[in-house]
Amino acid sequence: MFDAIDTSGTGLSVYRTWIDTIANNIANVNDESPTSGPAFQAQFVQAEPIATGPDGVGHGVHATGLPRSSAAGIPTYDPQSPVADQNGYVRRPDIDMSQQMGNLIMAQRAFQANANVVDRAKDVYQAAIAIGKGI
């Protein structure tokens, strides 16, 4: 039964990382950079399963990396920007807000599912203790 909490705990950790990464991407969606420099680079979470034990049972997942999007961004005409070049262009991050919001919903629901597994395992442990005490 403790394996359920351990495995779900790894899922909670990875999904928390994913939610934090998405929040950072959303917070920087309107950043502007000069065209001579890089745009804000969105991050993405890479995860992989933790190797199975001798019993063949998996032990959860772990984040293996946070790759970034292209630094090229999207050149945007904004002559009023203080960082605009002589032609009025700035560099904005290549972030699709609808994709980020969809990913955020998936990450939140997956986090909640793992938290529910931890709660159900806790309930089972408490029931087992109560049975052992003869309650």
- The string of pLDDT tens digits covering residues 9-21 is 999 999 999 999 9
Spatial distance between the Cα atoms of 67 and 20, rounded to a whole number of angstroms:
14
User: Quick one: tokens of 64?
Assistant: 């293996």
For position 25, what pLDDT does the model report? Answer: 98
List the chain domain ranges.
Answer: 2-133
Spatial contact of 59 and 53, defined as CB atoms under 8 Å apart: yes
Backbone angles phi, psi at 105, to 5 degrees: -65, -45
Cα torsion 7, 8, 9, 14: sign: positive
Spatial distance between the Cα atoms of 101 and 83, rounded to a whole number of angstroms:
28
Single pTM value for the model: 0.86
Confidence band (pLDDT; 50, 70, 90) for 125?
A: confident
